[in-house]
Each structure stands twice: as C-alpha cells, then as structure tokens.
C-alpha cells in the first residue's frame, strides 16, 4: 500500500464510505502479510519508496513465488528478488509472466512504475559503477540492476583495476562528472583508494570475494577499503551489490 492509498483510505473513512473497523482491517493487512513462512512487509514502499526486496538464496522456488505475488498485489513499484537461480525464475515466471531474469546479476525482477522522488534522468545525476576486474562483474551487475530499478541513470566501466592504471585514467572524465561512484574490487581492493583520490563525488567501496587464498574470500579487500586514506569513501559488505546500489540511490535522490 502506497502513501496515496493510505490517504485515500483515510478519506473514505472520513466521508463515511467505510467503517472504522474496515479501515483498521485494511491498514493491518497493509502493514504486513503473514504467509506462514514469511511476514511480507507491505508498508516498505510507503516508508522507503521501494517495495521489499526478496533475498532468494536459501528459499524454495515456491516461497519466492508466493512472496513476489504478495508484493505485486500490494505495491506499485518494481519487484526484485536477488541471488535467485534460473530454476526459481522459471517457476516464478509461470505465475508472473512479466518477470525477467538477469543472468549476470542473478536476479528476478519486474520493472514497474518509476519510484516517486527518483532523481532526474540526466548526466548530472549519473551513478558510475567501476570494477577492478571482469570477475567482479556479477556483483556490479546486481548493483546496476538495483540502481536502475530505483530510477537512476547508471553508467558502467568494467575491468579498469590498478594492475593497468592507464585503463582507469581513460575514464577520468566519467569519474569527475559522476554524482555517486560504486567502486567494486576483490584481491587487495586498491581501486577504491585510487578512485577516492580522484573523485569529487562520494565513493561507495564494494569488496568482492574474488582472489587467491590470502584474499580470504573478500576480507582482505574489505579491510583495505575500510583503511583507505582517501576521504569520502564508505564501505559496504563483501559481495553486497544490492546494498551498494541502494545506498547510491539514496545519495543520488538527495537532489
């Protein structure tokens, strides 16, 4: 239920169109829906501007389908299930034909209305996503899809890590004009510090689990990014492209 739906409901009660018991019942259902295995947060869109996002890993295909159908019935914004398998997608699509699957992002989504309050779709409000290597693209793809569904203009530059710093220098103009930058790297995570030293925009550093043994499944990159000497760099969790995309969207909409 959106904010406008709530206002319409209150107006209906005020004018005598519905009883207070009916209004209370509808508002109660709008808060969340108990599916037995999940309490679906139907008020998320009214509170935060985007429906609840489903983390599909660990859920059965039946659970993912039922949650998405519940969200479809109670919201206006785009639907998203992250870390989803193709098997889950094929099962969901039978009941939700408009659903699409992003193989790189490993996400099921339904593109619907552009969120209220989304930033202008212009170059001045671009979210730039950089990856150190090609192996970081799955995390970047998740961040890109999330940012796009949140209504942002997104630009991506892949495989521009510090092992060949000239590749990054070739995109300096894009770095300088971006409003928010998501910097994604595994190994030692050095790219975030370099970009942080070049950019005027806030930099969201995203460590990935890419790398050999001492990379410790992303912990080395995480600690390196947390220890960055560049000012204005924030850090999200390892492989959390979703979190990076949401944070960038919230910054970008502060126009």
Domain boundary among 110, 135, 157: 110
For residues 75-89, average pLDDT: 95
Q: Kindly indicate the confidence band of residue 212, based on its pLDDT and cuts at 50, 70 and 90.
A: very high
Residue 127 sits in the same domain as residue 231? yes
For residues 57-86, average pLDDT: 95
CA angle 228, 234, 237 (to 5 degrees): 100
Residue 1 has pLDDT above 80, yes or no: no
pLDDT tens digits along 105-141: 999 999 998 887 888 888 889 999 999 999 999 999 9
For residues 57-65, average pLDDT: 97
pLDDT tens digits along 14-40: 888 888 788 777 666 667 888 899 989
Residue 17 sits in the same domain as residue 98? yes
Domain boundary among 81, 110, 139: 110
Q: Is 115 domain-assigned? A: no
106 token code pair: 């490993």
pLDDT of amino acid 35: 87
Look at the chain and report how many structural domains it folds into: 2
CATH number at residue 201: 3.40.50.1970
Do the Cβ atoms of 89 and 59 come closer than 8 Å? no
Q: Residue 77, Cβ neighbours under 10 Å: how many?
A: 24
Residue 9 has pLDDT above 80, yes or no: no
pLDDT of amino acid 42: 86
For residues 53-73, average pLDDT: 96
Residue 213 has pLDDT above 70, yes or no: yes
For residues 75-98, average pLDDT: 96
Closest CA relative to residue 186, chosen from 154, 163, 213, 218: 218
Do the Cβ atoms of 108 and 80 come closer than 8 Å? yes
Q: Using CA atoms, how far apart are residues 124 and 132, in angstroms rounded to an integer?
A: 24
Residue 141 sits in the same domain as residue 232? yes
203 token code pair: 């930099």
Contacts of 124 (CB under 8 A, 6+ apart): 177, 179
* 249: phi then psi, degrees, rounded to nearest 5: -65, -40
Residue-averaged pLDDT of the chain: 91
- Residue 212 to residues 140, 155, 206, 220, Cα–Cα distance (Å): 20, 29, 18, 11
Q: Could you tell me the residue range of the domain that residue 136 belongs to?
A: 123-252
Q: Is 180 domain-assigned? A: yes
pLDDT tens digits along 150-182: 999 999 999 999 989 899 999 999 999 999 999
């Amino acid at each position: 239920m959106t904010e406008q739906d709530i206002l319409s409901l209150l107006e209906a009660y005020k004018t005598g169109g519905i009883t207070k018991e009916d209004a209370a019942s509808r508002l109660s259902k709008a808060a969340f829906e108990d599916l037995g295995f999940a309490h679906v947060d139907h008020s998320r869109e009214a509170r935060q501007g985007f429906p609840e996002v489903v983390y599909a890993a660990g859920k059965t295909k039946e659970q993912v389908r039922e949650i998405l159908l519940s969200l479809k019935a109670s919201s206006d914004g785009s639907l998203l299930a992250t870390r989803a398998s193709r098997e889950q997608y094929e099962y969901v699509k039978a009941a939700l034909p408009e659903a699409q699957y992003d193989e790189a992002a490993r996400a099921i989504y339904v593109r619907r209305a552009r969120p209220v309050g989304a930033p202008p779709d212009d170059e001045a409000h671009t979210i730039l996503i950089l990856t150190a290597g090609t192996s970081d693209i799955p995390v970047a793809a998740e961040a890109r899809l999330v940012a796009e569904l949140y209504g942002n203009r997104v630009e991506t530059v892949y495989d521009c890590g510090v092992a060949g710093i000239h590749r990054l220098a070739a995109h300096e103009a894009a770095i300088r004009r971006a409003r928010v930058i998501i910097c994604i790297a595994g190994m030692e995570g050095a790219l975030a510090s370099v970009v942080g030293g070049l950019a005027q925009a806030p930099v969201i550093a995203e460590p990935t689990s890419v790398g050999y043994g001492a990379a410790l499944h992303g912990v080395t990159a995480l600690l390196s990014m947390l220890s960055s000497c560049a000012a204005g760099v924030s850090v999200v969790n390892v492989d959390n492209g979703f979190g990076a995309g949401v944070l960038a969207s919230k910054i970008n909409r502060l126009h």
